[in-house]
Structure 1
């Protein structure tokens, strides 16, 4: 039987206050909830579901001090679970380097691969250099925000802002607004 929000919150607060029995009850109740949460989203990937349950349980444990006692526990716990799932998807994402892409696409019947790359290069060349660089790194080369930040010796926030602004500019131009 699934524990109610109130019961989970009581166990969490008890655990934060040093009640090990309450904290154990909370963790025991979380396992089936998280299995169900991940199982619905990763149909058939039983090993991944179990890995994500364990990763999320560890994250909940290590971040328990950040829980706001006045807020819903499940919202906090599921937010952590969502971030763990996003990290999982990012790690399992397959990227293809741009070098040699034309040959792959031509072999697959996409003869206009070279012109498509030229179009992308032309669009990016119209952006400020910093924006074009981080868009190439994160969206074309497949680098993470952290990797692009390290490569460019800038902060992750600066990478995110530059990518966002650059993509907005490109979207406006493609719509004919810019």
Structure 2
């Protein structure tokens, strides 16, 4: 199951209905989304990012009854993530800059970001699964080419080619091509 809004929502609904497997699958699916979210916003080491991911997953688990099924799941998720990030900065009294702090603070921008992510998910359905995974890993989740290659068990040049060809196909599609 993917990480689209609909897929995540279905897992959340099933989890709330008592399906422990769906709830566990939801939490596993959220890990790469949250890592990418924090990598783009937090200046710090991998330990800080992993701490934030774990704290957010715990919050999603403990506060799952507060989610309103009439609202987008990912908007609720990223609101929790934002609060966890702010709490982390306060706890550590860091003065490191937060990229796009105004955008992070505004809930409307969170919803816009979520919608944009869903648009990207829809767009990535038009390239091969491998190209979509490599684009997502390197361009959205913030992995280096080496990290993406290691995670996928392929060569770095294969990652670069997949990303290049996938992006080329997406550009052609957006500009009215038939790919």
TM-score by length of 2: 0.50
Q: Distance in 1 between matches of 2:29 and 2:9?
A: 11
Q: Distance in 2 between matches of 1:94 and 1:26?
A: 31
The 5 A counterparts of 1:70-85 are: 70-85=70-85
Q: Distance in 2 between matches of 1:94 and 1:69?
A: 35
Indicate the SS of the match to 1:41.
coil
Alignment RMSD (CA, Å)? 1.7
Encode CA deviations 1:60-88: one digit per residue, 9 max, x unaligned: 10000101011100000000000000001
Contact 1:55/1:84 (CA < 8 Å) preserved in 2?
yes
Gaps of 5+ in 1: 96-178
Encode CA deviations 1:20-71: one digit per residue, 9 max, x unaligned: 1211111110011101111111244211000000000001100001010111
Q: Distance in 2 between matches of 1:2 and 1:41?
A: 24
Larger radius of gyration: 1
The equivalent residue for 2:154 is none
The equivalent residue for 2:40 is 40
Encode CA deviations 1:93-128: one digit per residue, 9 max, x unaligned: 169xxxxxxxxxxxxxxxxxxxxxxxxxxxxxxxxx
How many residue pairs are counted as aligned between the two chains?
95
Indicate the SS of the match to 2:7.
helix
The equivalent residue for 1:28 is 28
Gaps of 5+ in 2: 96-179
User: 1:38/1:94 Cα in 2 relative to 1: closer, same or farther (>3 Å)?
Assistant: closer
The equivalent residue for 2:92 is 92
Greater length-normalized contact order (CA 8 Å, ≥ 6 residues apart):
2
Contact 1:42/1:49 (CA < 8 Å) preserved in 2?
yes
TM-score by length of 1: 0.51
Q: Distance in 1 between matches of 2:11 and 2:2?
A: 14
The equivalent residue for 2:170 is none
The equivalent residue for 1:16 is 16
The equivalent residue for 1:60 is 60
Indicate the SS of the match to 2:47.
helix
Q: Distance in 2 between matches of 1:11 and 1:94?
A: 36
The equivalent residue for 1:148 is none
Contact 1:60/1:77 (CA < 8 Å) preserved in 2?
yes
